[in-house]
C-alpha cells in the first residue's frame, strides 16, 4: 500500500455543531485494537428504535438489512454496529448482541451492521471481534462523541483512485429544527472519492507535490484508475421524530444526498456506502407525513454532510 498522508489537512475548522448523542436515548461507544489501525463503533438505543436503511454502494458489507426494510417484520433495533475488518468484522455483532442480552434489554436482539474495508491499512492486525464490540458497548455513553481515528474510523482512509490517499475518520453532527425534532448523524469516512466542502476539496488523493488531484475531474479526462479498493463510508442518522419503518427507510435514502454533496465520486462500484436510520419517536409533528419525511430527510442529509466533513478533518497524525 502507498504511504498515507496523515494529519489535519486544511485550515478549515470542523463545523461547530453537536453529535449523534444529542438524540435522547442514544449511546455511542468505540473500541480499537492496540495498534490503532482498526476498530468498531457501537450505537445503542436501549429503549428501542424504529429502523431504516439505504445501501447505495456497489460493494456493500452488511448484516440484517433486509429485515429492517419496509414489508419485513416490525422488530425494534437496540443496537447498530459499524466496524472495520471488511467481511471479517461482521461477526463482531455477536458482542453487541451479548451486551444487550446481558443487560436484559432483549432476548434475541436485532443488530444491523456495516463494515468498511481497512484490511490493507490494518495489515497484520486481527479484525474487530465480538470482544472488541462488547468493549465498545461497555464504553458507550450519552456524552459528546469523540471524533477522528477512533472506533470504526481507526483505519479509515480517503482518496484512493489516483495518487496518495489521506487518513479518514469518524465524525458526527446534529441539527435542532426550531419547534421540531432533533436530527443527527455519525459517519465513518473511508471514501474512495475526495471530500468536498463549499465547492473545494478539503481531504483527498494527493499528487507527488502533495496537491489535490481532483479524482472526479481525472476520471472525466480519461486517466486510467490506479487503486480502487479499501473503501466505503458507513453512517447512522437518528431523529426524535416519530417515524414508521417505511418513513425511516425513506429518510435514510434522503440522507444520501448529504453523502453525495460531501464525497465525489461516491456510491461507486468499489464503495459499500450504507446509511442506517433510527427513529426514537419522542416528537410528533403536526405537518403532513410527506412534509415530515421531507423535512427530516433534508435535515439528515445536512447533518450527514457535516459529519463526513468533520470526520475527514478530525483524522489524527
pLDDT band at residue 125 under the 50/70/90 scheme? very high
Percent with pLDDT over 90 in the chain = 85
Residue with the larger pLDDT of the pair 188 and 227: 188
Per-residue pLDDT, 281: 85
pLDDT at 285 exceeding the cut of 90: no
Per-residue pLDDT, 5: 47
* SS3 state of residue 269: coil
Per-residue pLDDT, 284: 82
Per-residue pLDDT, 226: 72
Helix, strand, coil distribution of the chain in percent, nearest 5: 25, 25, 45
Per-residue pLDDT, 124: 86
pLDDT at 2 exceeding the cut of 50: no
pLDDT tens-place string over residues 227-251: 666 799 999 999 999 999 999 999 9
Instruction: Of 128, 145, 133, give the one whose Cα is nearest residue 102.
Output: 133
Mean per-residue pLDDT, 247-256: 98
Percent with pLDDT over 70 in the chain = 93
Q: Count the helices and strands in the chain (H runs, E runs).
A: 5, 14
pLDDT at 12 exceeding the cut of 90: no
Per-residue pLDDT, 15: 53
pLDDT band at residue 180 under the 50/70/90 scheme? very high
Q: Calculate the alpha carbon distances from 191 to 15, 92, 99 in Å.
A: 19, 22, 30
Pairing between strand 263-264 and 27-32? unpaired
CA dist 251 and 49 (Å) reads 14
Cβ atoms of 41 and 29 within 8 Å: the answer is yes
pLDDT at 114 exceeding the cut of 90: yes
- Cα dihedral sign, 267-147-101-89: positive
Instruction: Of 316, 297, 254, 252, give the one whose Cα is nearest residue 51.
Output: 252
Per-residue pLDDT, 228: 65
Per-residue pLDDT, 227: 64
Phi/psi region, residue 22 (left: phi>0; alpha: psi -120 to 50; beta: rest), is alpha
Question: What average pLDDT does the chain have?
Answer: 92
CA dist 93 and 115 (Å) reads 11
Amino acid at each position: 500500500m502507498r504511504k498515507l498522508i496523515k494529519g489535519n489537512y486544511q485550515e478549515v475548522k470542523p463545523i461547530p455543531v453537536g453529535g449523534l448523542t444529542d438524540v435522547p436515548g442514544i449511546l455511542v461507544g468505540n473500541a480499537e485494537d492496540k495498534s490503532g489501525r482498526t476498530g468498531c463503533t457501537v450505537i445503542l438505543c436501549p429503549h428501542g428504535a424504529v429502523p431504516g436503511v439505504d445501501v447505495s454502494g456497489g460493494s456493500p458489507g452488511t448484516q440484517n438489512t433486509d429485515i429492517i426494510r419496509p414489508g419485513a417484520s416490525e422488530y425494534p433495533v437496540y443496537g447498530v454496529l459499524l466496524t472495520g475488518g471488511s467481511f471479517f468484522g461482521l461477526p463482531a455483532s455477536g458482542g453487541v448482541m451479548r451486551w444487550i442480552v446481558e443487560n436484559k434489554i432483549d432476548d434475541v436482539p436485532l443488530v444491523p451492521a456495516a463494515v468498511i474495508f481497512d484490511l490493507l491499512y490494518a495489515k497484520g492486525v486481527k479484525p474487530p471481534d465480538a470482544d472488541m464490540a462488547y468493549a465498545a458497548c461497555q464504553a458507550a455513553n450519552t456524552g459528546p462523541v469523540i471524533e477522528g481515528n477512533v472506533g470504526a474510523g481507526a483505519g479509515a482512509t480517503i482518496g484512493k483512485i489516483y495518487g496518495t490517499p489521506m487518513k479518514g475518520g469518524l465524525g458526527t453532527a446534529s441539527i435542532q429544527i426550531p419547534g421540531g425534532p432533533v436530527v443527527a448523524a455519525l459517519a465513518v469516512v473511508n471514501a474512495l472519492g475526495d471530500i468536498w466542502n463549499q465547492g473545494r476539496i478539503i481531504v483527498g488523493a494527493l499528487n507527488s507535490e502533495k496537491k489535490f488531484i481532483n479524482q472526479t475531474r481525472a476520471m472525466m479526462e480519461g486517466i486510467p484508475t490506479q487503486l480502487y479498493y479499501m473503501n466505503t463510508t458507513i453512517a447512522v442518522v437518528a431523529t426524535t421524530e416519530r417515524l414508521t419503518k417505511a418513513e425511516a427507510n425513506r429518510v435514510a435514502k434522503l440522507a444520501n444526498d448529504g453523502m453525495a454533496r460531501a464525497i465525489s465520486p461516491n456510491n461507486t462500484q468499489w464503495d459499500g456506502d450504507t446509511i442506517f436510520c433510527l427513529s426514537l419517536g419522542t416528537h410528533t409533528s403536526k405537518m403532513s407525513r410527506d412534509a415530515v419525511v421531507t423535512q427530516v430527510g433534508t435535515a439528515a442529509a445536512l447533518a450527514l454532510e457535516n459529519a463526513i466533513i468533520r470526520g475527514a478533518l478530525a483524522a489524527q497524525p
